Structure 1
Amino acid sequence: MTHAALPTSQDDPGVSRLFGAVDHWSSRTPTAPAFAAPDGSLDFHGLALRTRSIVTALARAGVGKETVVAVTTGRSRLAASSLLAVWWLGATAVPIDDRNPAERIAYLLEDARAEVLLAHGVPPFAASSQLPVIDPETAAKPVSGNPVLAERDSCAYVIYTSGTSGKPKGVEISYAGLGVFLDALCTIGLTPGGMGLNPLSPAFDGWLWCTFLHLLHGQGTAIADMHADDGEAVDLAARITAIGPRTVSLTPSLIAPCIDALTSVEVVVIAGERCPKALADRLSERHRVLNVYGPTETTIAATWSDTARGDDVSTIGTPLPGYSVRVLDDNGKPVPANTIGELYIGGDGVALGYRNLPDLTAERFVRIGGERFYRTGDLVVAREDGQLEFAGRCDEQVKVRGFRIELAEIEQVAAELPAVTAAAAFVLESGETVGLAVTVADGHDLTKGNALIREHCRARLPEHMVPSVVDFVPALPLTTNGKVDRAELARAAAAARQFTGRAPGTPRETEVCAVWSELLDHSITDVDADFFELGGHSLLAARIVAALRQSTGLKLSIPVLLANPTPALLAEELDRRATAEVAS
Structure 2
Amino acid sequence: MLFIQRFVEFAHAFPEAPAIVDASSELSYGELYKQAQRLVEVIESTSSGSMIGVLMEKSVDYITSVLAIHLSGRTVVSLDRNYPVERLRQMVTSIDLSLCLLNEQEYDELNVMLDQGIRSLRIDKPTAPSADNDSVEIKPETLEEIPAYVVFTSGTTGQPKPVMVPYRSLSTLIDWMLKAPGRAGTTLLYAAQGFDVSFQEIYSALCYGDRLLVITDEQKKDMHELTREMVSAAVTRLFLPTSMLIPFVTFNLHDSQVLDDLQEVICAGEQLKINPVVRQWFKAHPQCQLINHYGPAETHVVMEHRLSSEPEDWPDLPPIGKITQASTAFLLDDHLQPVLQGNIGQLYIAGRSLALGYYGMSAQTAEKFVTHPQTYERMYNTGDICVLNEQALFEYKGRRDRQYKIRGYRVELKEIEIVVADSELVEDCLVVARQFGRTTTLVLYFTAQDRDQDLSMRLHTHLTTRLPDYMLPSFYKKISAIPLTPNGKVDLQKLPEVGGLRSLISTSYVEPHGELETTVCELAACCFGLDRLGANDNFMDVGANSITLISLLAELRYVLAYDFRQTDLFEYPTPRLLCATYQRSLDTTQQGAPTVVPASSRKQRLIAIQRFQEKKGG
The separation in 2 between residues aligned to 1:485 and 1:22, in whole angstroms, is: 59
Aligned CA distance change for structure 1 residues 22 and 301 (closer, same or farther; 3 Å) = farther
Deviation, structure 1 residue 205: 0.6
Deviation, structure 1 residue 91: 1.1
Deviation, structure 1 residue 70: 0.5
Q: Is the 8 A contact 2:500 2:529 kept in 1?
A: no
User: Are residues 1:113 and 2:96 paired?
Assistant: yes
1:367 aligned to 371, 377, 389, which one? 371
User: Are residues 1:269 and 2:266 paired?
Assistant: yes
The separation in 2 between residues aligned to 1:349 and 1:376, in whole angstroms, is: 13
| Per-residue Cα deviation, 1:104-123 (whole angstroms, up to 9, x for no partner) | 11111111221000111215
2:609 match: none
1:406 match: 412
The separation in 2 between residues aligned to 1:239 and 1:482, in whole angstroms, is: 54
The separation in 1 between residues aligned to 2:281 and 2:518, in whole angstroms, is: 33
Q: Is the 8 A contact 1:513 1:567 kept in 2?
A: yes
- The letter of the residue matching 1:52 is Q
| Per-residue Cα deviation, 1:239-282 (whole angstroms, up to 9, x for no partner) | 54444311111133312232336432112212112123557866
The separation in 1 between residues aligned to 2:540 and 2:588, in whole angstroms, is: 28
The separation in 2 between residues aligned to 1:162 and 1:255, in whole angstroms, is: 24
User: Are residues 1:137 and 2:124 paired?
Assistant: yes
Q: Which one is further off, 503-512 or 392-401? A: 503-512
1:225 match: 216
Q: Is the 8 A contact 2:427 2:449 kept in 1?
A: no
What are the equivalent positions in structure 2 for 1:300-339 lying under 5 Å apart?
Answer: 300-307=300-307, 314-339=318-343
1:90 match: 73
Q: Is the 8 A contact 2:430 2:446 kept in 1?
A: no
Deviation, structure 1 residue 386: 2.2
The separation in 2 between residues aligned to 1:44 and 1:486, in whole angstroms, is: 55
Q: Is the 8 A contact 1:366 1:374 kept in 2?
A: yes
1:161 aligned to 148, 153, 172, which one? 153
Gaps of 5+ in 2: 591-618
What are the equivalent positions in structure 2 for 1:135-214 lying under 5 Å apart?
Answer: 135-140=122-127, 141=130, 142-149=132-139, 150-186=142-178, 188-189=179-180, 191-214=182-205
1:256 match: 246
The separation in 1 between residues aligned to 2:164 and 2:410, in whole angstroms, is: 17
Deviation, structure 1 residue 365: 0.3
- The letter of the residue matching 1:94 is V
2:37 aligned to 44, 52, 73, which one? 52
Three-state SS of the structure 2 residue aligned to 1:129 is: coil
| Per-residue Cα deviation, 1:547-568 (whole angstroms, up to 9, x for no partner) | 768959798553x634654434
Deviation, structure 1 residue 533: 4.7
Q: Is the 8 A contact 1:429 1:490 kept in 2?
A: no
The separation in 2 between residues aligned to 1:571 and 1:480, in whole angstroms, is: 51
Aligned CA distance change for structure 1 residues 322 and 563 (closer, same or farther; 3 Å) = same
Three-state SS of the structure 1 residue aligned to 2:395 is: strand
Deviation, structure 1 residue 171: 0.1
Deviation, structure 1 residue 339: 0.8
| Per-residue Cα deviation, 1:315-345 (whole angstroms, up to 9, x for no partner) | 1112211111111011110011111001100
Q: Is the 8 A contact 1:297 1:350 kept in 2?
A: yes
2:355 match: 351
Q: Is the 8 A contact 2:524 2:533 kept in 1?
A: no
Aligned CA distance change for structure 1 residues 165 and 490 (closer, same or farther; 3 Å) = farther
The separation in 1 between residues aligned to 2:282 and 2:180, in whole angstroms, is: 17
Q: Is the 8 A contact 2:86 2:466 kept in 1?
A: yes
- The letter of the residue matching 2:434 is L
Aligned CA distance change for structure 1 residues 333 and 394 (closer, same or farther; 3 Å) = same
Three-state SS of the structure 1 residue aligned to 2:535 is: coil
Three-state SS of the structure 2 residue aligned to 1:20 is: helix
Q: Is the 8 A contact 1:237 1:258 kept in 2?
A: no
Gaps of 5+ in 1: 1-7
Q: Is the 8 A contact 1:272 1:403 kept in 2?
A: yes
Aligned CA distance change for structure 1 residues 344 and 356 (closer, same or farther; 3 Å) = same
Q: Is the 8 A contact 2:511 2:534 kept in 1?
A: yes
The separation in 2 between residues aligned to 1:61 and 1:332, in whole angstroms, is: 48
Q: Is the 8 A contact 2:357 2:369 kept in 1?
A: yes
Three-state SS of the structure 2 residue aligned to 1:427 is: strand
1:293 match: 294
Normalised by the length of structure 2, the TM-score is 0.81
The separation in 2 between residues aligned to 1:191 and 1:522, in whole angstroms, is: 48
Q: Is the 8 A contact 1:234 1:546 kept in 2?
A: no
Deviation, structure 1 residue 206: 1.0
Q: Which one is further off, 416-425 or 307-316? A: 307-316
1:382 match: 388
Normalised by the length of structure 1, the TM-score is 0.86
Three-state SS of the structure 2 residue aligned to 1:167 is: coil
Deviation, structure 1 residue 523: 5.0
Q: Which one is further off, 94-103 or 311-320? A: 311-320
The separation in 2 between residues aligned to 1:242 and 1:474, in whole angstroms, is: 56
The separation in 2 between residues aligned to 1:321 and 1:208, in whole angstroms, is: 19
Deviation, structure 1 residue 203: 1.1
Deviation, structure 1 residue 507: 7.0
1:340 match: 344
- The letter of the residue matching 1:330 is D
| Per-residue Cα deviation, 1:504-545 (whole angstroms, up to 9, x for no partner) | 247774464244245436553422434245341113334545
1:3 match: none
Q: Is the 8 A contact 1:290 1:304 kept in 2?
A: yes
Q: Which one is further off, 324-333 or 145-154? A: 145-154
The separation in 2 between residues aligned to 1:235 and 1:486, in whole angstroms, is: 42
- The letter of the residue matching 1:493 is G
Q: Is the 8 A contact 1:173 1:351 kept in 2?
A: yes
The separation in 1 between residues aligned to 2:22 and 2:185, in whole angstroms, is: 15
2:450 match: 443
Deviation, structure 1 residue 80: 2.2
Q: Is the 8 A contact 1:70 1:117 kept in 2?
A: yes
Q: Is the 8 A contact 1:192 1:217 kept in 2?
A: no
The separation in 1 between residues aligned to 2:563 and 2:150, in whole angstroms, is: 45
Q: Which one is further off, 570-579 or 147-156? A: 570-579
What are the equivalent positions in structure 2 for 1:228-247 lying under 5 Å apart?
Answer: 236-247=226-237
User: Are residues 1:474 and 2:480 paired?
Assistant: yes
The separation in 2 between residues aligned to 1:351 and 1:398, in whole angstroms, is: 20
Three-state SS of the structure 1 residue aligned to 2:500 is: helix
Three-state SS of the structure 2 residue aligned to 1:420 is: coil
Three-state SS of the structure 1 residue aligned to 2:31 is: helix
Three-state SS of the structure 2 residue aligned to 1:57 is: helix
Deviation, structure 1 residue 78: 2.4
Aligned CA distance change for structure 1 residues 238 and 562 (closer, same or farther; 3 Å) = same
| Per-residue Cα deviation, 1:447-479 (whole angstroms, up to 9, x for no partner) | 4x3222222211111111111211222222345
- The letter of the residue matching 1:305 is H
The separation in 1 between residues aligned to 2:496 and 2:61, in whole angstroms, is: 43
